[in-house]
Structure formats: C-alpha cells, structure tokens
C-alpha cells in the first residue's frame, strides 16, 4: 500500500459550476478586474446576506485595509481588535500606522468579550482618548455578540468593522454575518467555506462606503479621459475570472454549510462524551456556518495534550491546527495594549481545529476520530516517571 493521501484541514471543494462560469468569463474576454462576473458576484452576495451593497476585492485583508482607511484611521490612532484571530485582522491596523488594542475572548463564545470591551472603552474615556474604530471578528464561523457589542461601541461613537472573513452564511438573531457595524468583510481565501482561490468582499448597507471602496481599489482614478489622481489608490479589485469561480461556489454555500454541520455532529457524537474533550461552544444567539470543528482538550482529563493529538494525526498524514495564537502573544504585536488575554491564551494552548472540509469522507473522518481516541488512551496509560 502506498503512502496515505494527505487530509487537509479545509481544502477547496469545487463541484463543476465554477468551471462552467470560469470558461464563460474566459470566452467573453473579460479576464481582468471588473466585468459582468464581478457585478453578478456582488449582487448575489447582497441577495444572500440581505446586505445592501458589496465591493469584490482581491482579499479579505484588502477589505479590512480599505475599511479602516474609509473610517479615517491615521498613524498613531488606536483601533480595538479581537485578540483571538488570524493576524490579518490586526495587520490591517498596522498598515495605517495605527495601534491595535486587543480585547480577550468570552469563554462562552470564544469571540470578543463585550464586558471587557466596555471596561476598555470606559478606561479610554477617562484618559480622554478614545480609539478610532473597532474590528470585531466572527471566530471560526460564529458571530460575535453584536447586540451587546454594537450597543457598547455606539455609546462611545466608535464605528465597527465586522471581520466576517470566516463566517459567510452564519447568522446572529436571524441576520446575516457581515451586516453588523458600518461595514463587514468576507474572505474567499483557499481554505474558507467558499473560495475564489484568493479574494474578498467589503459589504455595507451604506452605499457610500462601497462606492469609495470601488474607487480606492481601482487606483483612485479621477473621472477624466486621461489618468488623473487626487488620492492615493490601491490595486485591490477582484478579477472577473475569480468572481466567476466565486459565483459557482456561492451557489452551493447552503449545501456546504449543511455538510460541515454534519461533519461537526459526527465529531460531537463520537468524541463529545470523552472526559477532557469539549467543543467550541455554540452561542444561543445565532447559527454558525460550521466552517471548522474545533475541540478543546484538557490534558489532565483526556490523558494527552493538544500537541500530542496534533502529532498523532500528523503521523497519519492528517492536518490539524492549533487555534489561532492570540495577537497579544505575537512577537510582532508585543507591547500593544491588551484587556485580559488569559481566556484566549488558554484556548490557544488547548484548542485544536480538526479536518472539516466538504470532501472529507466518512471513512477518513472515522479514522481521525479513532486516532484522537487512541492518542488519549495511550498517553493516559504511560507510567509516570519521576
């Protein structure tokens, strides 16, 4: 028997329609940025999410960058940011010479803790210096607690960008992820629930933000027959070819969510009763898109720690990943202010993202479950050496 095929965490999953639309775009000769596929992709995202306007961009990071720029973030400004996230959320703040202030997670949702956010803003008001904006992340496809967060931010006049890079298709109290705050962003990076290979979207109910995003992302050309520029622009628009792939993917979003939910349920049904294994909590206020199944391992109870489980899977050519390393622990953001941090740190030390891709077979998932179970027992039976 040859070596086992690698099982990835969340590989792209194409099912035919993408190819058709891609070839249509190719044959139409609209292969650069802008074009009918881009327009249609934006319209379809709006229809799916109920958000008024959308600008298709080259990445979720580009969308965050433009969002902060449009909110007037300048060098030296402070910007609130979820601590437990991928670096892109905080990098966008740094691109503008601004300074992130990290807020810890709530253990009940793993998303930003509204109580800590409130304390931080109260402290800022006392010092007489409020942050300029907030980036609130929807972690692993689950919305943050927006009723509370938006209410807190509004009371300080703080505009919010919802970083829904991982959460397309999730809901909060019946409303779509991306709809909260002044703007929302999505990512269509290769590992996301839908992908354009690389891409992103800025969405807003305010048409002015989206108009500006389209202008800034196409080199900020003034309306003149020659090339004239009164603003610094960016080359951040999505290509028409990639938008075609995105449309094919988006058409299957609901079935992708359903499949990922099924995968999560099988993990829960088989691992949920094992002492020491818990799952990222599902908040009552919404429905996640189930992008990744994430477990939390208590080594004392389970008999093995997160790293031992990861290595046991890796030995069988199966990819799993520790939960995002919190931003306050990242060398590049050392010295940035933080509020709390212990919850995110604990989740990082014990959390493991499991293979959750749409193409994961039941057979492979059963293998993964078996390896996890055995990892616990093996280490649990190890003699204690003093």
Binding site for ligand PLP (CB under 6 A): 59-61, 85-86, 88-89, 137, 163, 165-166, 187, 189, 200
SS3 373: helix
CB of 200 to ligand PLP, least distance (A): 4
Q: Which is nearer to ligand PLP, 61 or 356 (CB)?
A: 61
Q: Give the closest residue to 182 by CA, choosing from 152, 210, 216.
A: 210
Q: Which is nearer to ligand PLP, 25 or 62 (CB)?
A: 62
CB of 63 to ligand PLP, least distance (A): 8
Q: Which is nearer to ligand PLP, 112 or 117 (CB)?
A: 112
CB of 212 to ligand PLP, least distance (A): 19
CB of 137 to ligand PLP, least distance (A): 5
Q: Which is nearer to ligand PLP, 292 or 312 (CB)?
A: 292
CB of 217 to ligand PLP, least distance (A): 13
DSSP at 167: -
Residue whose pair of structure tokens reads 């057979």 in the numeric block: 363
How many residues appear in the chain? 386
Helices (H) and strands (E) counted in the chain, each on its own, are 13, 15
SS3 233: coil
Q: Which is nearer to ligand PLP, 140 or 302 (CB)?
A: 140
Q: Which is nearer to ligand PLP, 67 or 200 (CB)?
A: 200
Q: For ligand PLP, which residue has the nearest CB?
A: 60
CB of 81 to ligand PLP, least distance (A): 10
CA 177 to chain centre: 11
Q: Which is nearer to ligand PLP, 61 or 204 (CB)?
A: 61
CB of 145 to ligand PLP, least distance (A): 16
Residue whose pair of structure tokens reads 């304390």 in the numeric block: 119
Whole-angstrom distance, CA of residue 159 vs CA of residue 175: 19
Q: Which is nearer to ligand PLP, 177 or 372 (CB)?
A: 177
Which phi and psi angles does 25 have, rounded to 5°?
A: -65, -40
Q: Which is nearer to ligand PLP, 137 or 242 (CB)?
A: 137
Residue 226, both tokens: 């020659």
Q: Which is nearer to ligand PLP, 83 or 166 (CB)?
A: 166
CB of 239 to ligand PLP, least distance (A): 14
Whole-angstrom distance, CA of residue 30 vs CA of residue 132: 39
Residue 3, both tokens: 């070596």
367: left (phi over 0), alpha (psi -120 to 50) or beta: alpha
Residue whose pair of structure tokens reads 């099924």 in the numeric block: 262
Which strand (E) or helix (H) includes residue 136?
strand 133-137
Whole-angstrom distance, CA of residue 129 vs CA of residue 127: 6
CB of 166 to ligand PLP, least distance (A): 5
DSSP at 129: -
CB of 86 to ligand PLP, least distance (A): 4
DSSP string, 30-43: --SBSSHHHHHHHH
Q: 218: how many CB neighbours lie within 10 A of its CB? A: 16
Which strand (E) or helix (H) includes residue 162?
strand 160-163
What is the SS3 assignment for 57-101?
Answer: ECCHHHHHHHHHHHCCCCCCCEEEEECCCCHHHHHHHHHCCCEEE
């Amino acid at each position: 028997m040859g070596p086992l095929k690698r099982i990835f965490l969340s590989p792209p999953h194409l099912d035919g329609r993408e190819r058709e639309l891609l070839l249509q775009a190719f044959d139409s000769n609209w292969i650069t940025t802008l074009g009918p596929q881009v327009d249609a992709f934006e319209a379809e995202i709006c229809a799916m999410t109920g958000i008024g306007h959308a600008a298709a961009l080259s990445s979720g990071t580009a969308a965050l960058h433009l969002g902060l720029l449009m909110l007037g973030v300048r060098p030296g400004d402070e910007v609130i940011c979820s601590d437990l996230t991928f670096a892109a959320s905080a990098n966008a703040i740094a691109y503008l010479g601004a300074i992130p202030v990290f807020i810890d997670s709530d253990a009940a949702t793993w998303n930003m803790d509204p109580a800590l956010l409130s304390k931080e803003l109260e402290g800022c008001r006392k010092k007489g210096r409020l942050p300029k904006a907030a980036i609130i992340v929807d972690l692993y496809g689950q919305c943050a607690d927006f009723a509370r967060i938006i209410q807190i931010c509004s009371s300080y006049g703080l505009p919010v960008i919802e970083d829904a890079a991982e959460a397309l298709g999730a809901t909060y109290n019946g409303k779509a992820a991306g709809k909260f705050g002044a703007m929302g962003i999505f990512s269509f990076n290769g590992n996301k629930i839908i992908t354009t290979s690389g891409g992103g979207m800025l969405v807003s109910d305010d048409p002015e933000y989206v108009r500006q995003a389209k202008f800034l992302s196409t080199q900020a050309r003034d309306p003149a027959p020659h090339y004239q520029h009164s603003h610094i622009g960016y080359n951040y628009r999505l290509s028409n070819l990639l938008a075609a792939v995105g449309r094919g993917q988006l058409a299957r979003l609901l079935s992708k969510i359903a499949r990922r939910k099924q995968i999560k349920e099988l993990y829960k049904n088989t691992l949920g009763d094992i002492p020491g294994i818990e799952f990222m909590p599902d908040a009552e206020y919404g429905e996640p898109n189930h992008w990744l199944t994430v477990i939390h391992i208590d080594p004392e109870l389970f008999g093995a720690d997160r790293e031992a489980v990861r290595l046991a899977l890796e030995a069988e050519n199966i990819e799993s990943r520790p939960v995002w390393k919190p931003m306050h622990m990242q060398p590049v953001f050392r010295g940035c202010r933080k509020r709390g941090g212990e919850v995110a740190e604990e989740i990082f030390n014990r959390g493991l993202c499991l293979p959750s891709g749409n193409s994961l077979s039941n057979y492979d998932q059963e293998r993964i479950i078996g390896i996890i179970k055995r990892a616990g027992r093996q280490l649990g039976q190890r003699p204690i050496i003093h």
